[in-house]
Homo-oligomer: A and B are copies of this chain.
Amino acid sequence: MTDTNRVFTLAKRPEGKPNRDTFELVERDVPEPGPGEALVRTLYLSVDPYMRDRMRAGESYAEPWGVGDPLEGGVVGEVVADNGTEFEAGDVVAGNLRWADFSTAAGPDLQRVDPDLAPISTALGVLGMPGRTAYFGTREVAQPDAGDTFVVTGAAGAVGSVAGQVAKLQGARVVGFAGSAEKVSFLEDDLGFDAGINYKETDDYRAALAEAAPGGVDAYFDNVGGPITDAVFTQLNVDARVAVCGQISQYNAEELPTGPRKLGQLIQKRATVEGFLIQDFAPRFEQATRQLGRWVQNGDITYRETVTEGLENAPEGFLGLFEGENIGKQLVKVADREE
């Protein structure tokens, strides 16, 4: 084991789009686990769009990162030393740890990952936070019934790809917006979506959606916001439900130029728009993971991962999210398991 620990810190708050200078990689000593803590070696690090929000000063749904502070994120790692937790060296665990080679964490903040159930990286994707977000946002917020038309944006991403498949399992007709022909073919050919729309190939999202969903939209899972959401609002059916999960198209805007102008669409359609945070479903996380695990094991849910190699390249993995470079869950592979 090496003695040095590479750690990414927030070099400065981005104005508009973050870039490589937003991040600084510093060298620290490998930390000692205190009483009740374990030392964890990072194997995979998750980069997620919501992290853009933590780079911002001021109120957000996650506490803002301080300038100079280590960045945090979902990690799957291997316990290398234990100081009184339930874990022992070699155990694979998941937790909200640092963008670093090594982190310490209190035992209750770590969850055991079973390497025999599925590849351990899935604990950051389909069997982790993105999968659970898709599961609850679809089943509890957007609530597509059998026969409903369900639309999802960011459809080829970690959350959207699972949301669409969960809606299919509920019997819905599923249409996804994604940003390349390759992604649309992933949706239609690999995931079984009824239709994919490549939003980079048209300016008229409304017409494209009207063609793909001629019966209108009953449930909408929004990861993206902006003009695509404007278009979806015009196609909502009576009693439609909109689950607002993310607004990645807006995260880099310093000043949002305008606000909700098409709320009038909601009146006529008695539609409901609801923002949700996955933390509110925490008491039911295990239930969701179990169900998603079954679906993955029997092939009802397919997942894909885009893996950036090397902790030093974590910023590129993160920045690529805003350019649509990933298909499925974007991960950073930091190390292989020992042995």
Contacts and interface: CB of A to CB of B under 8 A. Distances in A.
Contacts of A272: 272-275
A230 B250 contact: no
Given A227-B259, A257-B261, A260-B229, A267 B250 contact: no
A266 interface: yes
A244 to B, nearest CB: 5
A277 B273 contact: no
Interface in A237-294: 244-247, 250-251, 256-277, 280
Given A259-B261, A260-B225, A276 B280 contact: no
A65 interface: no
Interface residues of A, number: 40
A258 B257 CA distance: 10
A274 B238 CA distance: 12
A297 interface: no
A276 B267 CA distance: 5
A215 interface: no
Interface of A: 59-61, 222, 225-227, 229-231, 233, 244-247, 250-251, 256-277, 280
Given A259-B261, A266-B275, A272-B273, 7 more contacts: A227-B259, A229-B260, A256-B262, A257-B258, A260-B262, A267-B277, A270-B276
